[in-house]
Structure formats: structure tokens, C-alpha cells
């Protein structure tokens, strides 16, 4: 039995194109051109998946989503926005009112939509040809305090994730503003960076362009999206196009790892809100622990689920500080993994543009970093419960 899809799309040409693409994948599609007609069809037919444009002629799409979530017949259905709205605050607003997934209309939008539908539709759709690859796992690294080694931990864990399954592709994105260090540490050189990606028109940004233009860091085993070289370059970043850029990265790579750094801006929250898991890096001292607790509380207030959080204690400075229950009492939750002090090894490896395990394979931190990679892979696996955001 084919999955039933309701498409709420006011543009007739777009509706025809999307209906054809879905039909070729085995879905049975009903089209409604307005919000009111869409609500009637949703409550009458109770489709498995609802796909809607948020720019509708009669109702705002967010209002349609709210009504669908308040009605018992549709409150648990998968709802996907396929929309021209692309600003970070618009994406966050959509997820806040109950969207499961948010797709921006751009070059790879149909590919992304079909992958999400293949993941979400019930009962299972029988696909023709090659099976759909799901969207890439999204893992941001964030900290509440500077100087805790977030970028070094991020890069080395990303390396172990890439090594864990060499058949899967990994990309690391530097979103530390105004100046990031991912390119400097990995040693890559390229004219394509996070700013230039956001300067592209949405229809220019495709998986083929990313795979052609982005550099691979050979020693690390992953692709790199460099960050900003200076504050002037950071000022050119087009915030409204960051969401579409991440969407395309997830379509192109199996795992997308983003170094957010010490940042809880709306751009950072856009990334965190869509994460498969969130790696929170801290040092085991009272100040860092207290700051981390405050950040976790804010993330909870912003609907970042506690089950997605993965807390890492990195003894970056080598000071004998808190461990075990005293540390967790300040943080307000368990610490998932700890990294022993590396002395100067992290800095030495970074200066040589190499991951820690290549330069110091006997260091105890290598096993810890490998264990963190395994833990994040497990934490990032899709959950069986409904309402999972991408």
C-alpha cells in the first residue's frame, strides 16, 4: 500500500512538478491550493505526510501547522515545509510551531524532500531503482566558555567518525565567527568558504558544486568548509542563506559536523535546533561548569531536547579540577565523556596540521576521542518517536 501525501501548494506548476516527482517514488498525492482547503483535506483524508508551502493565499502556513498540531486527527502526522522562506528566524519559527522538517526551495530541494519523505512516510514506500540515502547526520560542537579546546576536539572527533566508516562522507564546517581556525589546523587552502557559499543564489547551490569545489583534508579524512579569515569577511556572511547551505551540505554528505564555538546567536540556534546530536565541550573547572549549566538551561528553553545533548569534559589546561559527582552537580546533568590532559600534544599536532592519533598514537586521549566519536554516532541515530527534526 502506497503512502498518502497531501501537498498544499498554491502554484499550479510547482504542484504538478512535485506531484509527478512524488508519484514516481510510489506516493499517492492529493493537492490543495490553499490553507483552508488543505486543512479540510488533511482532516478528511488523514494522509501519512503533509507537505506545504508557507506562503499561502489565504492563511499563513505557520497558522496551518498550528491547527494541524492542535487537531487529534493530524497532531502526530509528519509535516514538512517546502517553502521559499529561508531566513533563520523563519526556519526556527516553523520548527517551533510543530514542523518536523524544513526544506527551502532551491536547487536540491526536491532531492532533500524525497529523502525526508522516504524516512518519515508510513507505511513503508517501495522505491523504484536505487534506495534513497537519508539526509546527512548533523552534529554541531558548541561551548559556553572560550579556551576549552572546542575546535581541536571537534576536528579530532570528526576524524575518528570518518575513520569509523570510510564508505561514508564527512564534512566539517567552520562557523566560528568572526574568525575560525579549522582551515589553519587542517592545512587546507581554497577560495570556497562558508561566506562564499552564502553569497550564492539558492538555485546555484547544489550537491555537485559542493563536491567539486570543497577541499578534502587528506590526513583527516574529511571535507572542509573553511570559516572567516577576518572580521571584515565575516560581515559579508548572508545569514538568510545559511539554512539552505546546511540543507545542501546534508544532501551531499553522510555526516555534517559544524564547529559553532562559543556562540548562541540565532544563527547558532538554527544549527542546534536541527541537530541530530549536540556536542557540548567544557573544561572541568567551576566557572566553565557553571557557564555550561546556564547554556544547557537556555538550550532547553529553546526546545533543544536533553536527549540530544552530549557533554564532553576536556582537561585542556592540565589543572586538577572537578571530576565525577562534584562536576556533574554543577553542570546539572551527567558528563558523557572526559578527555585527559594532553599537555602540549594538541598544540603540536595542530601546528603540524595532523590529527592527534597520527602524531601521538600512544596518548591516552586518542582512545578517549575515539570513544567520543562512537558515542556521538550512537547518539545521532534516528529516534523511533515522532516529531523528530532533521
The DSSP code sequence of 196-210 is HHHHS-GGG--HHHH
162 and 252 housed in the same domain: yes
116 and 144 housed in the same domain: no
Tell me the pLDDT of the chain (390 aa) as tens digits.
Answer: 568 999 999 999 999 999 999 999 999 999 999 999 999 999 999 999 999 999 999 999 999 999 999 999 999 999 999 999 988 889 889 988 999 889 999 888 898 899 888 877 544 444 444 445 678 999 999 999 888 999 999 999 999 999 999 999 999 999 998 999 999 999 999 889 999 999 988 778 888 899 899 999 999 999 999 998 888 988 999 988 898 899 999 999 999 999 999 988 888 998 998 899 999 999 999 999 999 999 999 998 887 888 999 999 998 765 567 788 999 999 999 999 999 887 788 889 999 999 999 999 999 899 999 999 999 999 998 764 444 444
In a domain? residue 388: no
89 and 206 housed in the same domain: no
245 and 318 housed in the same domain: yes
The CA distance from 27 to 38, in Å, is 18
The CA distance from 148 to 295, in Å, is 15
In a domain? residue 334: yes
In a domain? residue 367: yes
In a domain? residue 384: no
Q: The domain spanning residue 38 has which CATH number?
A: 3.40.50.2300
223 burial class (0-12, 13-18, 19+ CB within 10 angstroms)? buried
105 and 201 housed in the same domain: no
Report the 10 Å Cβ neighbour count for 89. Answer: 14
191 and 228 housed in the same domain: yes
Q: The domain spanning residue 310 has which CATH number?
A: 3.40.50.300
pTM for the full model? 0.85
Strand partners of residue 172: 224, 257
Q: Total structural domains in the chain?
A: 2
154 and 296 housed in the same domain: yes
Whole-number Cα distances in Å, 174 to 31, 229, 243: 40, 11, 14
- The whole-number pLDDT of residue 144 equals 94
324 and 193 housed in the same domain: yes
In a domain? residue 323: yes
- The whole-number pLDDT of residue 129 equals 46
The CA distance from 333 to 303, in Å, is 17
In a domain? residue 71: yes
The CA distance from 150 to 79, in Å, is 35
**SS3 of 117-181:** HHHHCCCCCCCCCCCCCCCCEEEEEEECCCCCCHHHHHHHHHHHHHHHCCCCCEEEEECCCCCCC
- The whole-number pLDDT of residue 385 equals 42
- The whole-number pLDDT of residue 383 equals 65
Residue 17: all three cell numbers together: 512538478
CB 137, CB 249: distance < 8 Å: no
| 94, 120, 146 - which closes a domain | 120
144 and 58 housed in the same domain: no
User: Which phi and psi (to 5°) does residue 95 adopt?
Assistant: -65, -35
108 and 188 housed in the same domain: no
Short-list 96, 379, 115, 135, CA closest to 246: 135
In a domain? residue 148: yes
145 and 275 housed in the same domain: yes
152 and 231 housed in the same domain: yes
In a domain? residue 127: no
The CA distance from 43 to 77, in Å, is 11
Element (H, E) at 291: helix 286-301
State which residues form the domain around 60. 4-120
- The whole-number pLDDT of residue 50 equals 96
Amino acid at each position: 500500500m502506497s503512502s498518502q501525501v497531501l501537498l498544499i501548494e498554491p502554484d499550479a506548476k510547482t504542484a504538478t512538478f512535485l506531484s509527478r516527482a512524488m508519484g514516481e517514488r510510489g506516493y499517492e498525492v492529493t493537492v490543495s491550493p490553499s490553507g483552508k482547503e488543505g486543512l479540510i483535506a488533511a482532516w478528511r483524508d488523514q494522509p501519512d505526510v503533509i507537505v506545504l508551502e508557507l506562503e499561502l493565499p489565504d492563511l499563513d502556513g505557520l497558522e496551518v501547522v498550528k491547527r494541524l498540531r492542535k487537531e487529534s486527527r493530524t497532531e502526530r502526522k509528519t509535516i514538512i515545509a517546502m517553502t521559499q522562506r529561508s531566513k533563520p528566524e523563519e526556519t526556527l519559527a516553523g520548527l517551533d510551531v510543530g514542523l518536523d522538517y524544513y526544506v527551502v526551495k532551491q536547487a536540491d530541494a526536491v532531492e532533500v524532500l524525497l529523502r525526508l519523505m522516504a524516512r518519515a512516510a508510513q507505511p513503508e514506500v517501495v522505491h523504484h531503482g536505487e534506495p534513497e540515502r537519508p539526509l546527512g547526520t548533523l552534529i554541531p560542537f558548541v561551548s559556553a566558555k572560550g579556551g576549552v579546546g572546542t575546535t581541536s576536539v571537534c576536528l579530532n572527533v570528526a576524524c575518528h567518525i570518518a575513520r569509523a566508516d570510510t564508505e561514508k562522507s564527512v564534512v566539517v564546517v567552520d562557523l566560528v565567527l568572526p574568525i575560525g581556525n579549522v582551515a589553519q589546523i587542517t592545512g587546507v587552502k581554497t577560495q570556497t568558504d562558508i561566506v562564499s557559499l552564502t553569497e550564492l543564489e539558492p538555485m546555484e547551490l547544489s550537491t555537485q558544486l559542493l563536491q567539486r569545489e570543497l577541499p578534502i583534508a587528506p590526513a583527516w579524512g574529511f571535507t572542509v568548509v573553511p570559516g572567516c579569515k577576518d572580521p571584515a569577511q565575516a560581515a559579508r556572511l548572508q545569514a538568510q542563506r545559511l539554512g539552505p547551505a546546511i540543507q545542501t551540505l546534508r544532501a551531499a554528505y553522510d555526516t555534517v559536523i559544524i564547529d559553532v564555538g562559543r556562540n548562541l546567536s540565532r544563527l547558532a540556534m538554527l544549527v542546534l535546533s536541527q541537530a541530530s546530536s549536540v556536542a557540548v565541550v567544557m573544561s572541568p573547572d567551576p566557572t566553565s561548569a557553571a557557564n555550561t549549566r546556564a547554556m544547557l538551561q537556555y538550550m532547553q528553553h529553546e526546545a533543544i531536547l536533553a536527549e540530544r545533548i552530549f557533554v564532553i569534559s576536556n582537561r585542556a589546561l592540565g589543572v586538577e579540577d572537578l571530576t565525577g559527582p562534584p562536576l556533574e552537580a554543577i553542570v546539572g546533568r551527567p558528563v558523557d565523556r572526559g578527555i585527559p590532559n594532553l599537555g602540549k600534544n594538541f598544540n603540536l599536532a595542530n601546528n603540524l596540521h595532523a590529527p592527534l592519533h597520527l602524531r601521538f598514537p600512544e596518548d591516552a586521549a586518542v582512545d578517549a576521542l575515539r570513544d567520543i566519536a562512537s558515542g556521538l554516532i550512537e547518539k545521532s541515530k534516528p529516534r523511533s518517536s515522532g516529531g523528530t527534526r532533521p
